[in-house]
Amino acid sequence: MLVAYLFVCLMTSSLRQSPLSLALPSLGEPDSNSTFELLLFSVPGQLLFLLACAVLRRRRWLISAFVLAAGLTALLQCLLFAEAFGNTWSNAEILRLWAFNLPALLLALIPGLALFCAVEQISRVRRSHSHG
Mark 91-125 as b/e (b = at least 16 C-beta within 10 Å): eeebeebbeebeebbeebbeebbeebeeeeeeeee
Tell me what pLDDT residue 6 has.
94
Q: In tens digits, what is the pLDDT along the chain, a chain of 132 residues?
A: 889 999 999 999 988 888 988 888 888 777 888 899 999 999 999 999 999 999 998 889 999 999 999 999 999 999 999 888 877 889 999 999 999 999 999 999 999 899 988 988 898 888 888 775
Tell me what pLDDT residue 124 has.
83
Pairwise CA distance, residues 71 & 118, whole Å: 21
Tell me what pLDDT residue 86 has.
78
**Which one, of 116, 105, 103, lies nearest residue 63 by Cα?**
116
Q: Where are the domains of the chain?
A: 2-20+32-131
Tell me what pLDDT residue 121 has.
87
Tell me what pLDDT residue 23 has.
86
DSSP-derived letter for residue 29 is S
pTM, two decimals, is 0.87
Pairwise CA distance, residues 35 & 29, whole Å: 13
Q: Measured in Å, how far apart are the chain's first and last C-alpha atoms? A: 35
